[in-house]
Structure 1
Amino acid sequence: MGAFTVLLLLLLPGAAGGAAVCGYCPGPLRNASVVARYCASRAGTESEGRCCRERGARPERLLGDLTENPLRALPDGSFLGFTHLRCLAVPPALECPGGSSAWEEVTTRGGSRLCQGQRNPCNGSGELAWLCPENAACAPDGPGLVACLCESPFHGYKCLREGAFPGPLFCGILGTVTLALALLLWGTQRRKAKSP
């Protein structure tokens, strides 16, 4: 069974992302792990499952230890949103997420492959080059992953619609249709309720 080791130092959009990562491996932090030593040496941190995080409702930094995970391959998109992931160690048999071209340095040391320095796929050329549709900007969304964000004032499919989303018109039509259907159903069901 291959061991999957990951040491994550990242900025998370919210605590929910951290909870998902910390739940990958059961059990508490291991006393000799890098994560346990980090958590013990820093004030204002607490352990949660196999992770060490800053105290507070919305922690921004998370360090996780996911050793001895039985993964044989990394599922696609498993690191989606991990834009500030700096260091990742995987067994030598596994590729770094996003491939070797998604990282500044990929080395094999001991019994693990170390992926360091996540590259911005939007700034690359060749393998990492990513084309977004016209009126959209490329934004990194994890190792080798990108998101195309519509530039203002464009929105919609492939950022082809210009101007703001017609919120009042949409809500007005939706409200009118909902009210008409509610009245129709009320009228038809009322007759059934009155009949003996």
Structure 2
Amino acid sequence: MASREPGSSARSIPWVATLLLAVGVERALALPEICTQCPGGVQNTSRVAIYCENTSESMQARCCLNQKGTILGLDLQNCSLKDPGPNFFHASTAVIIDLQANPLKEDLTNTFRGFTQLQTLILPLDVTCPGGINAWESITSFTDKQICQGQKDLCNSTGSPEMCPENGSCAPEGPGLSQCICADGFHGYKCMRQGSFSLLMFFGILGSTTLAISVLLWGTQRRKAKAS
């Protein structure tokens, strides 16, 4: 039976600790930038933290993440934000977002374009829910905030078939927003053109036009140079 050197077990402990620390740092660095945009952690009373706990997901920095690293919740309350910032789209998969206690601009409709999963949005009292009252099941006002709850699908509302052409279908694009997607085999204005869109023809025409303009400009400059 092989003998173990005295203290070999003790020496292996620092290596294990270093490895765990490295893994933890790497995981922290891999967080989406929006999760670390605002310093500090969330409060225990945070609705995002409570949602994360109830769904058995992981709260890291300002984000609630599932096992795949997808953002399910985002808490940016009290972060002195005039707008959510350029990395806000990373949270388009979120179910719940808290932006209260921020000096946000009034119109946030285009800010939430693509946020089709969002069901709970907490905003400052003076900021309108994106899309207005027709985009949410309920809007509740409190002394210091308002909560937009239950995002509506405009494509399921009355008259939605008229929103898109005959060869297109309506698809939600965020609170108060929708888009029309052409059916297979159709493209162009109001999906009226049939057949696939030819990228070769498009880039061929674009290339020919660019070449012709370049030759014309070159000839013009050359004549000016000779004249001088």
TM-score normalised by length of structure 1: 0.64
Q: Distance in 2 between matches of 1:74 and 1:184?
A: 46
Q: Distance in 1 between matches of 2:215 and 2:151?
A: 57
Q: Is the 8 A contact 2:161 2:170 kept in 1?
A: no
Letter in 2 for 1:162: Q
Q: Is the 8 A contact 2:115 2:174 kept in 1?
A: yes
After superposition, where does 1:63-102 map in structure 2 within 5 Å? 63-67=73-77, 68-102=101-135
Q: Deviations over 1:127-166 (max 9, x none)?
A: x886123322111111111111111211122222111011
Q: Distance in 1 between matches of 2:168 and 2:36?
A: 34
Equivalent residue number for residue 81 of structure 2:
none
Higher helix share: 2
Higher strand share: 1
Equivalent residue number for residue 164 of structure 2:
132
1:54–1:20 CA distance, 2 compared to 1 (3 A):
closer
Q: Deviations over 1:71-101 (max 9, x none)?
A: 2513331211110001012233333211112
Q: Deviations over 1:155-193 (max 9, x none)?
A: 12222211101123334444556667778999999xxxx
Q: Distance in 2 between matches of 1:184 and 1:95?
A: 53
Higher-RCO chain (CA-CA 8 Å, sequence separation at least 6): 1
Which of the residues 118, 127, 143 maps onto 2:175? 143
TM-score normalised by length of structure 2: 0.57
Larger Rg: 2
1:136–1:187 CA distance, 2 compared to 1 (3 A):
same
SS in 2 for 1:104: strand
Which of the residues 42, 46, 50 maps onto 1:30? 42
| Fraction of identical pairs, as percent | 42
Equivalent residue number for residue 159 of structure 1:
191
Whether 2:60 is the aligned partner of 1:46: answer: yes
Let me know the Cα RMSD of the aligned residues: 3.9
Which of the residues 112, 115, 136 maps onto 2:148? 115
Q: Is the 8 A contact 2:104 2:127 kept in 1?
A: no
SS in 1 for 2:201: helix
User: What are the ranges of 5 or more consecutive residues in structure 1 without an aligned counterpart?
Assistant: 1-17, 190-196
Q: CA deviation at 1:63?
A: 1.2
Q: Distance in 1 between matches of 2:125 and 2:220?
A: 68
